[in-house]
Amino acid sequence: MCLKSMELGISNRPAGLAAELKYWFDSRLLANFSAIPAQRDISPAPRGGPLSMKLYSSQTSPFVRIVHIAALEKGVKDQIEFVAAREPGAGLDRLNPLDKIPTLITDDGETLIESRLIALYIDGLGTPRLYPAEPAARRQVLQQEAIILGVMDAAGLRRQEARREDSEQSEWWIGRQMLKYQRGIDKIENELDSFTDNDTIVPFELCCALEYLDRLQEGVPELGWRDGHPKMAAWLARFRETPSVAATRPPGW
């Protein structure tokens, strides 16, 4: 491989190649240093092996929960080490400039941010199911996902505003977020069958969103969604018993 194409390779897969080079380099150094047990402490976990990926997470993040469910549904949860992102020294800000969870380090050493990108990556580790391959069906899933995650973002921003001093809160900003939130959940209620009558990521995301809204509503009552959305409430009562959903419910939820 010529230098130019190596450089291109590096720019395409910076973290992965860098990790591989470091591994090779460290292995060579340690092989010449007999006092250190050869490789045992430095070998990366085998690709696809137990704990070969790292997920920066917290127990209560609904966005992390989506990724966790995707991993369970795809049977790759054992490959993921969950790292408490908010522990001192976790260093998430050096990996993700947005300093947000979820952030995934793949077994290639690549850093992926945003729940939807990570869930897409996890789905691609086996035969895609959570995001259908057929273009029209895939677009529909991505569109419905955008609405659900958008509702979560708007509700989260509304909740954050409530944490500011009363005098600092913006009525204009609150109104904007509440409109997005209300239009979003109304749309989902009206099209509930299309959001839930399938085997994709969408019902799982909707469940994570609704249980998250239930928690936010404890601090901001206007984020309550159950009144006026009876179809969603009845659906959630059934779907919340799905094993991967029940297994990832934060304690106390």
Cβ 98 to ligand GSH shortest distance, Å: 7
Under rule CB under 6 A, residue 115 binds ligand GSH: yes
Under rule CB under 6 A, residue 99 binds ligand GSH: yes
Residues in contact with ligand GSH, shown as a per-residue x/- string from 163 to 182 under the rule CB under 6 A: --------------------
Whether the CA torsion 82, 88, 94, 98 is positive or negative: it is positive
- Which range in 40-48, 94-102, 191-199, 223-231 contacts ligand GSH by CB under 6 A? 94-102
Under rule CB under 6 A, residue 102 binds ligand GSH: yes
Query: How many chain residues touch ligand GSH (CB under 6 A)?
Result: 9
Q: What is the 3-state secondary structure (H, E, C) of 137-205?
A: HHHHHHHHHHHHHHHHHHHHHHHHHHCCCHHHCCHHHHHHHHHHHHHHHHHHHHCHHHHHCCCCHHHHH
Distance of CA 183 to the CA centre of its chain: 24
Distance of CA 36 to the CA centre of its chain: 38
- Residue closer to ligand GSH, measured from CB, 17 or 59: 59
Question: Is there a cis peptide before residue 102, judged by omega within 30 degrees of 0?
Answer: yes
The binder of ligand GSH chosen from 122, 149, 209, 213 (CB under 6 A): 149
The encoded tokens of residue 168 equal 């600092």
The binder of ligand GSH chosen from 100, 138, 176, 187 (CB under 6 A): 100
Under rule CB under 6 A, residue 61 binds ligand GSH: yes
Phi, psi of 102 (to 5 degrees): -80, 150
Residues in contact with ligand GSH, shown as a per-residue x/- string from 20 to 59 under the rule CB under 6 A: ----------------------------------------
Q: Are 124 and 81 in contact (CB under 8 A)?
A: no
Cβ 70 to ligand GSH shortest distance, Å: 12
- Residue closer to ligand GSH, measured from CB, 44 or 150: 150
- Residue closer to ligand GSH, measured from CB, 95 or 101: 101
The binder of ligand GSH chosen from 80, 95, 101, 210 (CB under 6 A): 101
The binder of ligand GSH chosen from 63, 195, 204, 235 (CB under 6 A): 63
Chain residues that interact with ligand GSH, rule: CB under 6 A: 61, 63, 99-102, 114-115, 149
